[in-house]
Structure 1
Amino acid sequence: MDARTSPPSNDRFDPSKTPEHFVILPPEIRDGRMSISTYQQIAKTTDKLPDEGLELTVLGLFGEVGSLLSAFKKRQRDRAAFKRYNATILEELGDTLWYFSTLATRAKIDLSTIAQLAFRKLADWSSVKPADPTLGFADVQSRHDQPVPEESFSAQVLALAGCVGDLLNDFKTGIFDHNRDKLSAHMVEIFRALVAAADSADVDMGAAALENLKKTFSRWPAETTYPPRFDAGMPKNERLPPWLEFYIAEETAGEKKYVIQKCNKIIIGDRLTDNKMERDDYRFHDVFHLAFAVHLGWSPVLRALLHLKRKCDPELDENQDGARAILIEEGVATFIFGRGLECELFEKVDHVDYDLLKSIQDFVRGYEVAWCALWQWEKAIMDGFSIFRQLVDKRKGYVMADFENHTISFREGNDEDE
Structure 2
Amino acid sequence: MDFDHYQSETVRLADSNDTAHELVPMLGLGAHVGELLLAQQRYLSESLVAETSRGMVARELGMVLRWSALLAHVNGLTLNTIANRNLIKVDERARSLDFPGIAALPGQDAILGLAEYAELAAETDQEISAGVDPLSLSVPMLGLAGEVGTLLVEEKKRYRRDSKIDDWPSFIGIELGDLLWYTATVARHAGLGLEEVAGRDLARAARSSSLSSDATEQKSSFDEDFPATERVPRQLHLRFQERTVNGQAVVTMTLLAATPNAFPDGPISRGSGKFQGFKVGEALGDEVTDNSRRVDAYRYHDAIHLGFLAVLGWSPNLRGLLQVKRKSNSVTDETEDGARAIFAEEGIAAILAKQATLSRQFEAPNLVPEDLLDLIALVVEDLEVSSLPYRMWREAISQGFTVMRQLSEGGGGYVLADLDARSLQYSKFPFLT
TM range (shorter): 0.7 to 0.9
- Over residues 19-41 of structure 1, what are the superposed CA-to-partner deviations in whole Å (9 max), with x where a residue is unaligned? xxxxxxxxxxxxxxx32012212
Structure 2 residue 241 is matched with structure 1 residue 241: no
Moved more, 152-161 or 217-226: 217-226
How far the C-alpha of 1:283 sits from its partner, in A, is 0.9
Change (3 A) 1:185 1:146: closer
Give the equivalent residue in structure 2 for 1:36: 3
Instruction: Give distance in 1, aligned partners of 2:431 and 2:146.
Output: 66
- Over residues 88-117 of structure 1, what are the superposed CA-to-partner deviations in whole Å (9 max), with x where a residue is unaligned? 211111100111111111111221011111
Give the equivalent residue in structure 2 for 1:74: 42
Structure 2 residue 119 is matched with structure 1 residue 142: yes
Change (3 A) 1:78 1:409: same
Moved more, 187-196 or 115-124: 115-124
Change (3 A) 1:399 1:207: same
How far the C-alpha of 1:345 sits from its partner, in A, is 1.9
Give the count of matched residue pairs: 380
Change (3 A) 1:159 1:223: closer
How far the C-alpha of 1:51 sits from its partner, in A, is 6.8
Give the equivalent residue in structure 2 for 1:266: 282
Give the equivalent residue in structure 1 for 2:156: 172
Change (3 A) 1:415 1:243: closer
Give the equivalent residue in structure 2 for 1:357: 373
SS in 2 for 1:279: coil
Instruction: Give distance in 1, aligned partners of 2:332 and 2:77.
Output: 52
Moved more, 244-253 or 306-315: 244-253
How far the C-alpha of 1:389 sits from its partner, in A, is 1.8
Give the equivalent residue in structure 1 for 2:260: none
SS in 2 for 1:277: coil
Structure 2 residue 194 is matched with structure 1 residue 205: yes
SS in 2 for 1:380: helix
- Over residues 127-170 of structure 1, what are the superposed CA-to-partner deviations in whole Å (9 max), with x where a residue is unaligned? 411xx5x4210121129996353421111111222222223333
How far the C-alpha of 1:62 sits from its partner, in A, is 2.1
Q: Counterpart amino acid of 2:232?
A: L
Instruction: Give distance in 2, aligned partners of 1:176 and 1:316.
Output: 64
Structure 2 residue 144 is matched with structure 1 residue 160: yes
Change (3 A) 1:411 1:128: same
Q: Counterpart amino acid of 1:287?
A: A
SS in 2 for 1:70: helix
How far the C-alpha of 1:271 sits from its partner, in A, is 0.8
Give the equivalent residue in structure 2 for 1:20: none
Change (3 A) 1:364 1:140: same
Once the two structures are superposed, the pairs formed by residues 296-311 of structure 1 within 5 Å of their partners are 296-311=312-327
Instruction: Give distance in 2, aligned partners of 1:223 and 1:384.
Output: 21
Give the equivalent residue in structure 1 for 2:55: 87
Give the equivalent residue in structure 1 for 2:208: 219
Q: Percent identity?
A: 29
Max Rg structure: 2
Q: Counterpart amino acid of 2:243?
A: E
> In 2, are the aligned partners of 1:396 and 1:413 still within 8 Å (CA)?
no
- Over residues 336-376 of structure 1, what are the superposed CA-to-partner deviations in whole Å (9 max), with x where a residue is unaligned? 11111333423377431112212222233433333332112
Give the equivalent residue in structure 2 for 1:63: 31
Instruction: Give distance in 2, aligned partners of 1:257 and 1:309.
Output: 31
Change (3 A) 1:78 1:297: farther
Q: Counterpart amino acid of 2:41?
A: K
> In 1, are the aligned partners of 2:19 and 2:25 still within 8 Å (CA)?
no
Identify the match of residue 244 of structure 2 among 252, 261, 272: 252
Higher relative contact order (CA 8 A, sep 6+): 1
Instruction: Give distance in 1, aligned partners of 2:283 and 2:423.
Output: 23
Instruction: Give distance in 2, aligned partners of 1:85 and 1:70.
Output: 10
Change (3 A) 1:126 1:170: farther
How far the C-alpha of 1:269 sits from its partner, in A, is 0.6
CA RMSD, Structure 1 to Structure 2 (Å): 2.8
Give the equivalent residue in structure 1 for 2:337: 321
SS in 1 for 2:314: coil
Change (3 A) 1:35 1:83: closer
SS in 2 for 1:142: helix
Give the equivalent residue in structure 2 for 1:21: none
Q: Counterpart amino acid of 2:7?
A: Q
Give TM-score scaled by structure 1 length: 0.83
> In 1, are the aligned partners of 2:365 and 2:398 still within 8 Å (CA)?
no
Instruction: Give distance in 2, aligned partners of 1:149 and 1:325.
Output: 39
Give the equivalent residue in structure 2 for 1:96: 64
SS in 1 for 2:201: helix
> In 2, are the aligned partners of 1:47 and 1:102 still within 8 Å (CA)?
no
Identify the match of residue 301 of structure 2 among 285, 292, 297: 285
Instruction: Give distance in 2, aligned partners of 1:193 and 1:253.
Output: 63
> In 2, are the aligned partners of 1:247 and 1:415 still within 8 Å (CA)?
no
Give the equivalent residue in structure 1 for 2:418: 402
- Over residues 180-207 of structure 1, what are the superposed CA-to-partner deviations in whole Å (9 max), with x where a residue is unaligned? 3233222222222222222222222222
Instruction: Give distance in 2, aligned partners of 1:177 and 1:54.
Output: 16
